[in-house]
Every structure is written in structure tokens, then in C-alpha cells.
Chains A and B, each alone.
Chain A
Amino acid sequence: MSTLVFLEHHGNELLKSSLGVLSKAASLGDDHLAGVVAGANVRALAEEAGKFGAAKVYVAEAAQLEAPLPQPRVDVLAQLVRDGGFDTVLFANSVLAADVAAGLAARLGAGLNWDLVDIVRDDGKLVGKRPALQDSVYVDVGWTSEPRIALFRPGSFDPSATGGSAKLEDLQVALENFSTTARMVDQAHEESEGPSIEDADVIVAGGRGLGGPENFTLVEDLAKALGGAVGATRAVVDAGWYPYSTQVGQTGKTVSPKLYIACGISGAIQHKVGMQSSGVIVAINKDPNAPIFEFSDLGVVGDVHEVVPELTALVKARKGS
């Protein structure tokens, strides 16, 4: 089996979710495991990927690859899969990666399974694990032909640095005319402190129960103390309390951090589908009948305005000691 992993980057860092997929692929024991990095000035990033199990990393550098747009990347990957004979192409899901994977599937007439949380080799066959219908059923999915393409839910795998180094190979990039007609004219990125919500091991999320946008500082302080990211429910994003990029749920991000702390969140199905595959879920809510308690590992019936600041102080004290 020979596997190619799409390594997405933002700024000067490879996304942790991409590296997690790379580590997972390495654990499957492929004969040939390679990554591909596409952008402008991305050689250093390609080298970094060697530490996570890629024997080879392809480097596609071109001005048209600088902006995070999908279609030129489809060209690069299609060429690479054809020339390199890869039978499997893996992606960590993102707005960009979903478009690249889908375009690639159409281009190559290849099967794409999305929203996978795991992949195993069963009797020589690759089987993806896909939660469906609000995660109420886990479906074993597969592919009837090669190449196989898969998109994984972010946070499904931890990157594990093995300390190896990758051989870099530069690609001659040939782009389709239609692939470069969309053009990035502006990027307004919300630079936040700490990890992004896709990459965070810990997410502290706030909902209506916080009472108002000003109380999001409680959530931010706890996230900071835990080295985590801040999440929000659809209700508070719709109310303008917090930016959409932090929204967790069916119409926002699907996340699976190691720890998810839900503050003043009732746990509506809309939200649940975006976070229920988290490792450990802690919920604080004053309504003892809130649905969130049905899928929390630890539920606290209490006032977020009292419990959260105290928790932040205790975490800080513990980390300081």
C-alpha cells in the first residue's frame, strides 16, 4: 500500500490535524508513505513533516499555490497520484481540504469517504469508521477501487513525532486553466492567542447560560489556563456574542479534543453532533435537566459564573506548583 497525506498549513505551521493523519498512516505500516505540502516557501514545513513518519515529502511551490484555494491543489495531487502510483490519499478535514478531496475524487473517479474518525486494516482491507445520523450509528465504510480517498474529522488522531527525516522532492506544477481563475483578494484572519479550535487538545465552550457576551471572558480565562481554545454554540454566535469561526456543531465545526468543557450549554442536538466524539466531556449548567448531562463524563449542576472562575484559579494554581 502506498499512501499520500495532504499536509495543510496555516501561516508557518502545519496543521496538527494533518500531522495526526500522517502519524495514523505511519502506524498502519505502509510500504510507502509520503506527504505533500503545497504553497509558496513551504520547504521548511515539508522538512518538519519528516518527524511525523513521512519517508518522503513532495513540495509543490508556485505563486498560484500561495493562497489557500482548492483547485490548483487538486491539479497537484491528481498529477502526483497518477505519477506516484498512490493507492490511498488521506486528508484532515477543513474548508480547504474538503474541497481538495472532493475535486480530486471527481478528477480521478475515486471513492471518497468523509467524516471518518478512524481507519483500520481488516484482513488486508482498509475500513473507515464513520459516525452517522448524529453519531448514533458508527458505519464501517470502504472503497471498491483505487485510489481511495478519505477525509478525517479533526482531532481524530494525535501527531506523534518519531524523529525521522523525510526526503524532499520538488514537483513541477502544471495547473489547469480553470483552476486558477478564482483569486484571493483579501484575507481577514482572526488571530487568536493559543491553539485553533481544530488543533486544540482542550476546548472550553460557552453557551447562552453565560448570560451575555461580556461573560465570555470566564471561558477565555479557563481556556488560557488549560492551554486550550474557545468554542461557542450556534445560539451565541447568532446573537453576535462570539465569532462564527468558533462555532461548534452541525453548522459549525466538528471537533474531538481530548477534553471539552461546556459552560452554560444546554446540549441541543445541533451542538451535540459537533463535539460528542470528544475524549472527556465536562459540563457545567444550572439546569439539572439539561440534555448535555446525558453525554457528559462529569456533569456539574451549578452556576457557571461561580464554578468557572474558581476552576480557572485552581487550574492556574496547580500548573504553577
Chain B
Amino acid sequence: MKIAVCVKQIPEGSRRIDPESKRLDRSGEGALNPFDAHAVEEALRLKDAGGEGEIVLVSMGPAKAQDALRKALAMGADRAVLVSDDGAAGADLVATSSVLAKALERESAELVLFGQQAGDSDGAVLPAAVADRLRLPVVSQAAEVTQADGKLTVKRQTEFGYDVIEAPLPAVIAVSDAINEPRYPSLKGIMGAKSKPQETLSLADLGLDALESRTEVYALNDPPARGDSRKIDDDGNAAQAIVDFLAEKRLV
């Protein structure tokens, strides 16, 4: 089975928003979005279970995102495609999903995997947007994925418990971070990754013009301040103190 895994490079360590562009500062060191490592791991497991196949990483980001892709290649993915273009900087959901859908169409994988969310924007919306553009079934929050007879069986976690959903291939699946424990790349994997194909595409290569985002950022503000904070030691009356506090706030 050919599996495409959509991955993202996110800024390493503490993150900041550039007050000028009002965009996330992506100038520093980058890391593989930790949620995406679960998607890569699941692709490797499905490939192992099926006995054969190819795992291609598909990403959009600055040129140096190839570093993060190399980490996923070291885990065992076969090759990587990065869409990198100045015209794609600051792309929102609508713009990003159109780019990824184009890049994925080019691959025609039987299965497209995503991590559950981006660790920088905390968005969990890309998989369903891409699936709609590809006109493929989507299941998000997958805690278990099995494949048999051209069909996937997915255990989905929701607010209310577990659902079991069947979807025919090709399909788009966003895996939850509870699905597996991503492997650490072996030394052999790290060395081998250096010779795996890493392609970089422009928007024009995908037949896309400049992107148009439909959302914008007006201002950055400090979070609302919390009121006075009180801290007390339990002298045997702490429970009463809590009740008094809750009564004062009209919460009991």
C-alpha cells in the first residue's frame, strides 16, 4: 500500500509571534511536529503489516523544513516532498489545504495520514479540509487503524467514548497521539535518511498561483489577568476555607 503522511515542521522550544507580521516566528530551529511522529509510526506499522508499500512524506513549509522531514525519513519513511514557496508563507487553512491536496493528488496514495493537530497552532482542522478537496472519506481522532480487503476499520475517540468506523480506501485518517508510541530513529536509520530522496516543489510546480488566505490577524494582546490569587496552608480548616471562597464567588 502506498501511504502519504502529511507532516509539519514547527518551531522548536518556546515560540513567539512576530509583532510585525503577526505570524509565528519560524526563523529559529525547527522540529518535527510531535503529533505527526504518531502518523509516521502508524504508516510504518501498516506497511509492515501489509508486507510491502511505500511511505511518502508530504509537507509545506520553509526550505529548512527538510530537516524535520529527514527525522521522519530516519524513522523509516521512504521519501519526502516539500512544497516551499515564499507565496505560501502565512497561508491559512483554506490556502494550506489546497496546496496539500494538490501535492497529494500528484502522489495518489491509497491512504493519507495526519497527526491529530499541529503543535504550534493547535489546529486540528487540516485533515477534514484536505479530505473534502480530495473528495475522500475522513476519520479523525483514530486510536486504532486496521486494514483488510481494501477497507479500513478505525476506532475513533470522541467526547462520548469510542466509535468504530469503516471507510473504503483511498481515505484520509488523522491519528490520535494515543494510537502508538513513535519509535526513535536508529543510527542506521539516521545515516540512511541522508540518501533518501527529498524533493522541493514550488507552487508553480503544482500549477498553483499565489495563495489567498481568508483569515487575518488584527492584533496581539496580553491574556486577561486573573484576579487576586490566594494560597493557604491546610491547618485542618482548608475544606471550610474552600467552601467559603466558593460561596463568596457564588459557586455553591
Contacts and interface: CB of A to CB of B under 8 A. Distances in A.
A44 interface: no
Interface string B138-173: 111101000000000100111111111111100100
Nearest to A293: B231
Considering the complex of A and B, which 3 residue pairs feature the smallest CB-CB distances, nearest first? A302-B234, A111-B214, A310-B239
A189 to B, nearest CB: 4
A106 B223 contact: no
B145 to A, nearest CB: 13
A300 B234 contact: yes
B122 A250 contact: yes
A110 B214 contact: yes
Contact of A190 (B131, B160, B238, B246): B160
B163 A187 contact: yes
Given A105-B125, A109-B94, A196 B160 contact: yes
Contacts of A311: 239, 242-243
A182 B137 contact: yes
Contact of A111 (B92, B98, B165, B233): B92
A319 B252 contact: yes
B221 A297 contact: no
Contacts of B213: 111, 144
Contact of B232 (A99, A127, A142, A300): A300
6 contacts: A100-B128, A112-B94, A187-B164, A188-B162, A300-B241, A313-B239
A251 B245 contact: no
A230 to B, nearest CB: 13
A296 interface: yes
A100 B141 CA distance: 14
Interface string B12-43: 00011100001000000000000000000000
Contact of B15 (A133, A198, A300): A133
B239 A295 contact: no
Interface stretch (A65-73, A166-174, A206-214): A65-73
Contact of A299 (B93, B94, B231): B231
Nearest to B167: A182
Interface string B96-137: 011000000000000000001000011111111111110111
Nearest to A189: B161
A319 B243 CA distance: 11
Contacts of B97: 102, 105-106
A184 interface: yes
A303 B234 CA distance: 8
Interface string A98-130: 111111111101111111000000000001000
B89 to A, nearest CB: 16
Contact of B159 (A71, A112, A196, A299): A196
A266 to B, nearest CB: 15
A307 B238 contact: yes
Contacts of B245: 282, 297-298
A142 B16 contact: no
Interface in A46-94: 67-71, 74, 94
B243 A114 contact: no
Contacts of A5: none
A161 interface: no
Given A102-B126, A107-B132, A135-B223, A197 B138 contact: no
Nearest to B242: A311
A141 B216 contact: yes
Contacts of A303: 234
Interface string B204-223: 00000000011111111111
Looking at chain A's contact residues, the main secondary structure is mixed
B188 interface: no
Given A98-B128, A115-B123, 19 more contacts: A98-B125, A102-B93, A106-B97, A112-B92, A112-B93, A112-B215, A115-B122, A138-B220, A139-B220, A141-B217, A143-B214, A184-B164, A190-B160, A202-B251, A282-B245, A293-B231, A296-B229, A297-B230, A318-B252
B10 to A, nearest CB: 11
Given A226-B252, A315-B252, A186 B138 contact: no
Contact of B165 (A69, A250, A288): A69
B186 to A, nearest CB: 25
Nearest to A100: B128
A95 B158 contact: yes
A140 B160 contact: no
B224 interface: yes
A43 interface: no
Contacts of B161: 187-190, 245
A113 B131 contact: no
A181 B168 contact: yes
B165 A184 contact: yes
A12 interface: no
B17 A132 contact: yes
Interface in A255-300: 258-259, 273, 280-282, 284, 288, 293-300
B63 interface: no
Interface in A192-230: 196-198, 202, 226
A259 B151 CA distance: 44
B138 A70 contact: yes
